[in-house]
């Protein structure tokens, strides 16, 4: 089973690009972030024609997440628990039944946190604390759980082409990286690094300064697997070539192959 995550950076602006990738990659489940669309404005019909069930948690012009699955989506929950006052659409989860059981899929768009010195960085850290608490509760399900998305965290220096350029950025702060490690320490496996130790492994290239052409990238899109999901791990991939297509997102799809 192929399960993917992709920060699409505006589903309406990238619809043709998205449909081309779906036709090429044929994921069984795909998590999209930064759809930048309210629920009723999401072009669900275009994906339904490809055979997908669609669930969204949208927001006008900003944020927004979606799960698309060839199998029906069950027990859909929108919003990250822990703060009822948080109005930002950054998390959605659902259960998908498979031939061997069921998977719990959490699609997340973690706050960027920039610029430092504003309220945005404490919001990022508080959001990560809520994610850690929720992830701990998900492990209690004792079923395969995947937390996929744009984490806006560069875990290690090797996950950036020029790590020195990110020292003053929220994505690379010690507090952000420590909370990412705390997630792993709960018992989650970071799928890409479990299967791929190569350098120059990136998922994001900025639109500015020829970053794509110079391969000046960072790795901030991650797939975390509960122990039950890690037992099913067969492989991972990063479809970096999509960054070179017309009207690309600045992120590319990342996927995991599970024996499910």
Note down the domain range covering 248. 2-258
Q: Please give the Cα distance from 190 to 187 (Å, whole number).
A: 10
**Number of structural domains found in the chain:** 1
pLDDT tens digits along 40-50:
999 999 999 99
Is 185 labeled as ligand-binding? no
Q: pTM for this structure?
A: 0.97
Which tokens go with 142?
Answer: 């004792």
Predicted confidence at residue 100, as pLDDT, reads: 85
Which residues 6+ apart lie within 8 Å of 117 measured at CB? Answer: none
Q: Specify whether 91 is catalytic.
A: no
Predicted confidence at residue 99, as pLDDT, reads: 87
What's 187's domain CATH number?
A: 3.60.10.10
Nearest CA to 31 out of 67, 78, 59, 61 is that of 67
Q: Specify whether 207 is catalytic.
A: no
Q: Please give the Cα distance from 223 to 130 (Å, whole number).
A: 18
Predicted confidence at residue 65, as pLDDT, reads: 98
Judged by DSSP in three states, 208 sits in: coil
Is 24 labeled as ligand-binding? no
Catalytic residue, candidates 52, 57, 150, 151: 150
Catalytic residue, candidates 52, 109, 151, 202: 109
Is 200 labeled as ligand-binding? no
pLDDT tens digits along 18-67:
999 999 999 999 999 999 999 999 999 999 999 999 999 999 999 999 99
Q: Specify whether 241 is catalytic.
A: no
Q: Give the gyration radius of the chain's Cα atoms.
A: 17
Is 196 labeled as ligand-binding? no
Q: What is the mean pLDDT of each run of 10 residues along the chain (260 residues)?
A: 98 97 98 98 98 97 97 98 97 95 97 98 98 97 96 98 98 98 98 95 96 97 98 98 97 97
Is 150 labeled as ligand-binding? yes
**Which residues partner with 247 through β-bridges?**
none
């Amino acid at each position: 089973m192929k399960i993917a995550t992709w920060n699409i950076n505006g589903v309406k602006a990238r619809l043709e690009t998205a449909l081309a990738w779906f036709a090429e990659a044929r994921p069984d489940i795909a998590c999209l972030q930064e759809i930048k669309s309210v629920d009723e404005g999401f072009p669900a019909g275009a994906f339904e024609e490809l055979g997908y069930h669609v669930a969204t948690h949208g927001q006008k012009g900003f944020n927004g997440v979606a799960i698309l699955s060839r199998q029906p989506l069950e027990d859909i929950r929108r919003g990250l628990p822990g703060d009822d006052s948080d109005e930002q659409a950054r998390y959605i989860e659902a259960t998908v039944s498979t031939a061997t059981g069921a998977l719990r899929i959490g699609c997340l768009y973690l706050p960027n946190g920039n610029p430092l010195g504003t309220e945005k960085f404490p919001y990022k850290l508080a959001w990560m604390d809520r994610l850690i608490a929720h992830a701990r509760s998900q492990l209690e399900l004792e079923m395969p759980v995947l937390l996929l998305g744009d984490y806006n965290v560069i875990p290690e220096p090797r996950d950036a082409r020029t790590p020195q350029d990110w020292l003053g950025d929220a994505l690379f702060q010690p507090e952000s990286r420590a909370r990412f490690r705390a997630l792993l320490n709960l018992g989650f496996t970071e799928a890409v690094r479990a299967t791929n130790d190569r350098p120059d492994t990136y998922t994001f290239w900025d639109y500015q300064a020829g970053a794509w052409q110079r391969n000046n990238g960072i790795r901030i899109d991650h797939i975390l697997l509960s122990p039950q999901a890690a037992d099913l791990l067969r492989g991972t991939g990063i479809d970096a070539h999509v960054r070179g297509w017309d009207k690309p997102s600045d992120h590319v799809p990342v996927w995991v192959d599970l024996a499910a």
